[in-house]
Amino acid sequence: MAPEPGVRAEYPPQHYWRRWCGDAPPPELPAEDATPANEPLPQVLPAADEGVDAPYRVLIVEDDPSQALFAETVLMGTGMQARVVGISSEVMAAMEEFRPDLVLTDLHMPGLNGAEITTMIRAHAAFAHTPIVFLTGDPDPETQFEVLQVGADDFLTKPVRPRHLIAAVESRVRRARKLERQRSGEGRHPSTGLYTRAAMLQQLGATVPGATSGGLYFVEIEHTTALRDRFGYAALESALADTGRHIGELAGEHLVCRLNDNTFVVFATGLDDPALGTFARTLRDGTSRHQVSIDGESLRLRALVGYAALRSNFDDASTALAAAEQALRQARQLPVGIAAHEPPREAAVEADADRVVMIHDALMNDRFELAYQPIVAVAGGEEAQYQTLLRLRDGSGNLHTAAEIVPTAEAAGVLHEIDRRVLDLAVATLDERAGENRPVRLFVSQSARTLVRDGYAAALLQMLSGTRIDGPTLVVDVRQDDALVHAVALQEFCAAMVPAGVQLCLSQYTAGPEPDALLARMPLGFVRLAARYSSQLGEGAVRDEMRAAIERAHRLGLQVIGQQVEDPQAAATLWISGVDYIQGNLVQHAAGGLDFDFQNSVL
C-alpha cells in the first residue's frame, strides 16, 4: 500500500530511540513491518559492545538504475542508510558529504575502471580505511587482482542474494568501526570523531572541581522535530552527525560530545572571561552558517548556545552541566540565541541563625519524622500507598513542616543531608512492612540537587541491597521545576535506578513544551499534577489543558495523580478526566501512621 501524501514510508532504526539515558526502552513500532522480498531480511544493528552507534552508511556507485535500486532497497530494508551515485565524477563529492562506512561499487563505471575508482578514493586520507567492495559479473581473475592490489577489499559476484549482500556489508562495517575505535581511542565516536558521552563525563569529573577558567557550553540545534517529520529519521540523523563533525572543527582543541538527539556539549578549558562570550558566538554563527544536505536539499540549521563559566566554583560535573543547561533554556527565549549562566548573588532566603541551629540540632539528634498522606486509586483497590511528608520536632517537642525547614536548609547548604535522613526513614519503613508481609508503596520527595550529587545513587542502591524491599515500592518524587534545571544530570540517577526497580514520579507537573519533552525522555512511572489543576477546575481552559495533559501521560504509559483534592466536586472532575489516583485532605489529612483503609475507601 502506498503511503498517504505527506507521510513518509519510513520507520526509525531501532537504536535511534535510545536516548543518552541508555536504559530507557525504545517505543514500540507499528506491527506492519513489511519486508521487500520473499525471504525475510534481518535487522542489521551495531554489536552490543559498540554502544548506540549511528546506522551503517553505504555509498552505492552504480550506473545501472535497476542494480542500484536492488542494492539500495535491500540495505535500507535492514535499517542501514544507503545513497546511490550513478556518475563516477560525483563519487568524491558524495564521499565527502555522506561519509560512508563502506563503498559498494560496480567494477566498470563509464569512464573509470575498478582500479581507478579505488585509487581515487584511497588518495583521500579520510577514506584510507573505508572498505570498498565491488559487485561484478566479470570472471577475469587478473582484473580482480589488479583492483585488490590498489586497495579494494573484496568482490561479490552478480547476481548476489540479499542475505549474502547484507552479511558482507554488515561484517565489514562492523570490523571497520571497531578498527576506527582502536585508531582514534575508545573515547571517540567512530564516524564523527566526537568524544563519547562517558568519556566527556569522565573528563568533566576530573577537571571541573577547582577549575578557575574555561567554560561548559550547550549547543542545541533548533526545529529538529519539524525536520524529522519532513525528511525522516535517517536523513535527519545524517545531517546531525555532519553538524556534530562541524562543531568539532569549530571547537578545535576543545572537547565536544553529542549529548542527545539535537544537543552537543563543548568543554572549553583555558578561556578567560572575555573569550567565553566570543567562543559562544563562534559556536552559534559557525554552526548556523554551515550548510547540510538533507535529501538533496541544502539547509542551514540554527543553533542556540547556553554556557557556564567554570570560575563559578562548581563542586562537581553535574552542577556545571545543570548550570549550562539552565543557560540554554534562557537562550531559547532570547533573539540572539546565546545566554550565560548567572550565579545567584545571594540566597533567596537568609539562613535565620536560630532556625539553622534548630536544623543542625535535629541532624545531630535524629529529630526528623515522616507524616503520611494516602494516595487512593479512583477505580478502587487494596494497594497501600502514601506520600511521605517531612516533619522536624524541635527540642521543645513542636513539629515544623517542610515548608518551614527546606528554604533555610537549602540556604545553609544542608538540604542534601535532610534528604538523606528522609530516605533513611522511608527505606526503614518499607523494610519493616515487607518483613511483616504488609507491603506499602511510598512516594519520597527528594531535591534534584541531592539526587545528582556524586555517589548519591550508589549510596541508595547500597542501602536497598541490605533490605527486603521490592524495588517498585519506592518511588522517588522530584519537582518539575527542579527536574527541568537538572534534567541532564538526573538522567544519570535514572539510569542507575531503573534496573533496581525504583520508580520515579514527576511532581507539580504543568503542561508545556519543555515539561512534555521531559515526560518522554525520563523513565518515569508516575506524574503528579500541579495543584492548580484541582483548585481551578471551574475554568474551562484549565480543565481542557488538564485532560490533554492526562491523555499525554497515559500515551507514555504513566499513571497520573491528582493532588490537593479538597472537595467532592474536584474529585469528580478529576475522575471524569481520567486520573488514576487522588491525593488530598478529602481522602485524609496527613498523619503519623499507615493505617488508612484502602480496601473500603470510597471517593
H, E, C per residue of 344-361: CCCCCCCCCHHHHHHHHH
Q: Which of 497, 349, 487, 506 is nearest to 415 (CA)?
A: 349
For the chain, domains (ranges, CATH) are 35-184 (3.40.50.2300), 197-340 (3.30.70.270), 366-583 (3.20.20.450)
Cα-Cα-Cα-Cα dihedral sign, residues 18, 72, 86, 7: negative
Residue type, 121: I
pLDDT of residue 53: 60
Cα distance between residue 485 and residue 324, in whole Å: 9
pLDDT of residue 601: 64
Three-class SS of 228-240: HHHHCHHHHHHHH
C-alpha cell at 157: 559476484
Distance CA 451, CA 419 (A): 9
Q: Are 499 and 23 in contact (CB under 8 A)?
A: yes
- For residue 181, the model assigns a pLDDT of 64
**Per-residue pLDDT at 602:** 55
Residues in the chain predicted with pLDDT less than 50, given as ranges, are: 1-52, 346-351
pLDDT at residue 201, as a whole number: 82
Do residues 554 and 534 touch, judged by C-beta distance below 8 A?
A: no
H-state helical runs in 194-350: 197-207, 224-231, 233-251, 273-289, 317-331
Task: Quote the crossing angle between the two packed helices 65-76 and 162-184, to the nearest 10°.
Answer: 70
Residues 6+ apart with CB under 8 A from 548: 511
